[in-house]
Chains A and B, each alone.
Chain A
């Protein structure tokens, strides 16, 4: 039972509704490993970005009009006539990119330090669900300004559902609310774009509950048993997170104020025109690695399955990785494969922005094959044969002191 509050009113209320003790447990007392490095800042960064996105989105929605004839004009109205509308809108559009950047780093941190391994599988799953919801939200949101890329990007992506055998075309019609992308599509996309962020908030709460149940992983990747190995969340990690926010806001600010359009496609400043197809339809940068996987495969249905599979495979990652050692620090061979995987992923993103022909197609096929090889072949085999370095007993001990985890 949590300690009682000294203030009588607080104690009275908390006895009946324990919000204060829950908050105190989560944000103040929560025992946290004392050896977390800066890569552990990205969880709270993702959280603050989600808040920024919801608040800026709320303000945008007060001025935006979800109608095919007015959507583009209403966005320009926000940019030109609304007081500081340009600021809110750039925060929201750049913020989407920042959110993905942070979440990609957050996921990479998990991969490097083995944060998905027992007992953190459910925590990991909830993270992947958030990632999938973010994809959906970002895609829906990109449609709303009703520029050329909005329209044609939505056309390409909704068209993917037609790959479903037998009922594919019916499903597309049902999703679009008609036989092509039109006003009903825009309206329902807006509706869902408004809904999904709140579902993300819900899953984020579950993510945090799961995190506080099993505790944070740490750079050494061992279970912490000594009391001295943990420190209270406040003030140590609150101040560290605030410092992280500061650094992040500087980078965010550089993009919002000085490079606001550098991350988007200029074509989206042309109003949507169903009669003019852009030369080259590309999604936003954060979708590119998966877009490359989609297009690497010549059959539409298989391509869609591969793209979905490339994310869904993360759900079984805790069992594909057979090594008992969590952190890369003690896995010299996996560490190299980790960096090759990251490099491969970046190449996938690069090739996803190109027209899939000739060399680009070959590269995208090699990289797609490697992506799945990493999970399906390298990880299971490596865990069985890799000779790991000795893992320390606790974070104070010299790492050379042996503790045999791989029994």
Chain B
């Protein structure tokens, strides 16, 4: 009887919940290799993502938490990384004369923003500010799917009665359906070094993969350690259970 009443109450509760569910754009769910308990990053996808970031995103976005030396995870050698870091100009100083100077990058440097400060960036983009990408996929629910949907979700044909201000773009996945970032990716916006066909889907998929790695470079280590820890704990707990049963059988009835 009580169970029946609870069943009714709970189904009523879930009915209400579903009725109140807000209308939202369904994200284009992708099959990410880093999801799930065996989740791993894919090196060639990451390398393509790095290429996109470098050739497209760096024009506006920094990644100040990502150090060049972390590119080791993508399968680059130390020498390759040193060479790569040297291609960046880093502001350093002051030197003994009290002056700031530019020097070639080192593996411990990060991908800094192309703008001197937030204000300069804002002036360039009519008040909108290109966020730092280091943690981007962690800053929202279902981050990877959301960014993928956003990057592939620009529409040129506006719905009826929709007024678009100059300098804004229509994207139904963004809050308020407008976004200040012009469509950054389109078919063949870059030519992949490894010869992969640079379709919009491929480009968006690769850059999101890369961004998720940048936001959480320890994911692989975390998941593989997690499997070992859990396996150990399960065996230990089973042994503890058996021991408990044995000890409790000593009590006289």
B40 at the interface (CB under 8 A from A): no
Contact A76 B226 (CB under 8 A): no
Contact B20 A250 (CB under 8 A): no
With a CB–CB cut-off of 8 A, which chain A residues contact B16? 359, 363
Known interface pairs A79-B218, A253-B233; A34-B138 also in contact (CB < 8 Å):
no
B229's nearest neighbour on chain A, judged by CB, is A253
A179 at the interface (CB under 8 A from B): no
Known interface pairs A247-B237, A250-B230; A269-B251 also in contact (CB < 8 Å):
no
In whole angstroms, what is the CA distance A242 to B248 when docked? 13
Majority-rule SS of A interface residues: helix
A231 at the interface (CB under 8 A from B): yes
A239 at the interface (CB under 8 A from B): yes
Contact A80 B234 (CB under 8 A): no
Contact A231 B251 (CB under 8 A): yes
Stretch of B42-50, B74-82, B85-93, B239-247 contacting A (4+ beta carbons < 8 Å) = B239-247
Contact B139 A80 (CB under 8 A): no
Q: A249-B237, A257-B229, A258-B226 are in contact. List 19 more A-B contacts (CB 8 A).
A: A87-B225, A239-B243, A240-B248, A242-B240, A243-B243, A250-B230, A254-B230, A257-B222, A257-B223, A258-B37, A258-B223, A266-B138, A266-B139, A267-B139, A269-B138, A269-B139, A343-B6, A343-B9, A347-B13
Among B65, B138, B236, B244, max chain A CB count under 10 A is at: B244
Question: What are the 10 A-B residue pairs with the smallest beta carbon separation, nearest first?
Answer: A257-B226, A246-B237, A269-B138, A243-B240, A86-B218, A269-B139, A239-B244, A269-B135, A243-B244, A246-B240
Contact A250 B237 (CB under 8 A): yes
In whole angstroms, what is the CA distance A79 to B216 when docked? 9
B172 at the interface (CB under 8 A from A): no
Contact B251 A34 (CB under 8 A): yes
Contact A236 B218 (CB under 8 A): no
A235 at the interface (CB under 8 A from B): yes
B4 at the interface (CB under 8 A from A): no
Give the interface size class of chain B. 35 or more
In whole angstroms, what is the CA distance A253 to B228 when docked? 11
Contact B247 A239 (CB under 8 A): yes
A157 at the interface (CB under 8 A from B): no
- Contact indicator per residue, chain B 1-45, by CB within 8 Å of chain A (1) or not (0): 010001001100100110010000000000000000100000000
A9 → chain B closest CB, angstroms: 30
In whole angstroms, what is the CA distance A236 to B244 when docked? 8
Please list the residues of chain A having a beta carbon within 8 angstroms of any beta carbon in chain B.
34, 73, 76, 79-80, 86-87, 90, 231, 235-236, 239-240, 242-243, 246-247, 249-250, 253-254, 256-258, 260-261, 266-267, 269-270, 279, 335-336, 339, 343, 347, 350, 354, 359-360, 363
A242's nearest neighbour on chain B, judged by CB, is B240
Q: Select which of A76, A246, A247 is within 8 A of B65 by beta carbon.
A: A76
Contact B233 A250 (CB under 8 A): yes
B235's nearest neighbour on chain A, judged by CB, is A246
With a CB–CB cut-off of 8 A, which chain A residues contact B17? 350
Known interface pairs A253-B233, A267-B139; A236-B225 also in contact (CB < 8 Å):
no
A148's nearest neighbour on chain B, judged by CB, is B139
With a CB–CB cut-off of 8 A, which chain B residues contact A266? 138-141, 143
With a CB–CB cut-off of 8 A, which chain A residues contact B244? 239-240, 242-243
In whole angstroms, what is the CA distance A246 to B9 when docked? 34
Contacts A/B (CB < 8 Å), 18 sampled: A34-B251, A80-B70, A86-B218, A239-B247, A246-B237, A249-B237, A253-B229, A253-B233, A256-B226, A257-B225, A258-B223, A258-B226, A260-B222, A269-B139, A339-B2, A343-B9, A347-B13, A350-B17
In whole angstroms, what is the CA distance A197 to B219 when docked? 30
B153 at the interface (CB under 8 A from A): no
Contact B234 A250 (CB under 8 A): yes
With a CB–CB cut-off of 8 A, which chain B residues contact A243? 237, 240-241, 243-244
A70 → chain B closest CB, angstroms: 13
Contact A249 B233 (CB under 8 A): yes
In whole angstroms, what is the CA distance A406 to B87 when docked? 86
B107 at the interface (CB under 8 A from A): no
With a CB–CB cut-off of 8 A, which chain A residues contact B217? 80
In whole angstroms, what is the CA distance A73 to B64 when docked? 10
- Contact indicator per residue, chain B 175-202, by CB within 8 Å of chain A (1) or not (0): 1000000000000000000000000000
Among B6, B134, B233, max chain A CB count under 10 A is at: B233
In whole angstroms, what is the CA distance A363 to B140 when docked? 28
With a CB–CB cut-off of 8 A, which chain A residues contact B140? 266
Contact B138 A336 (CB under 8 A): no
With a CB–CB cut-off of 8 A, which chain A residues contact B20? 354, 359-360
In whole angstroms, what is the CA distance A172 to B53 when docked? 46
In whole angstroms, what is the CA distance A235 to B245 when docked? 12
With a CB–CB cut-off of 8 A, which chain B residues contact A34? 251
Contact B240 A239 (CB under 8 A): yes
In whole angstroms, what is the CA distance A236 to B250 when docked? 9
Among A76, A270, A350, max chain B CB count under 10 A is at: A270
With a CB–CB cut-off of 8 A, which chain B residues contact A347? 13
A250 → chain B closest CB, angstroms: 5
Q: Select which of B6, B227, B248 is within 8 A of A236 by beta carbon.
A: B248
In whole angstroms, what is the CA distance A360 to B17 when docked? 10
With a CB–CB cut-off of 8 A, which chain A residues contact B70? 80
With a CB–CB cut-off of 8 A, which chain B residues contact A256? 226
In whole angstroms, what is the CA distance A360 to B16 when docked? 10
With a CB–CB cut-off of 8 A, which chain B residues contact A350? 17
Which B residues from 106 to 140 make CB contacts under 8 A with A? 134-135, 138-140
In whole angstroms, what is the CA distance A90 to B223 when docked? 13
With a CB–CB cut-off of 8 A, which chain A residues contact B237? 243, 246-247, 249-250
In whole angstroms, what is the CA distance A269 to B133 when docked? 11
Known interface pairs A250-B233, A269-B135; A235-B247 also in contact (CB < 8 Å):
yes
